[in-house]
Each structure stands twice: as structure tokens, then as C-alpha cells.
Amino acid sequence: MTMSLGPYASFIVTSYAAAAIVVALLIGWVIIDYRNQTARLRELERSGVTRRSGRSAVDTPKTTT
């Protein structure tokens, strides 16, 4: 199957290639950042820092008024 893109074929192909490269770079960036953030979170948890969202209702301090 042969497709004719006309006189703007190089522009069309280049545009699609550039868009694909940008999307691939963004996906790679997100994957690398996710790995860095999870490693940092593990490091913080190892050092004793806890997440507030990780506490249950039993763990919350009770205040008396």
C-alpha cells in the first residue's frame, strides 16, 4: 500500500517523528522521576520519617478539652 502525502511529505513525517520523540522522552522522564521518588521515600521511611496518610485512626493523638 503506497501513500502519497504530497509536496508536504517531509514536513508531515518530520512532525510525526518529532511528536513521537517528545512523547517517548516524557514517558522516560516520568519513569525516571518515579524511581527517584520511590527511592527517596524508602530512604525517608528508613530514617524514621513517617507519612501522615500512613497513620490509622487509632494512631492519631487524642486531645482533651
For 23-50, write each residue's pLDDT tens digit. Answer: 999 999 999 999 999 999 999 888 887 7
Quote the mean pLDDT of the chain.
Answer: 84
To 10 degrees, the CA torsion angle through 54, 59, 64, 65? 20
**pLDDT value of position 33:** 98
Q: Which residues contact 12 (CB under 8 A, 6 or more apart)?
A: 5
**pLDDT value of position 15:** 96
**pLDDT value of position 50:** 74
| DSSP 8-class letter at 61 | P
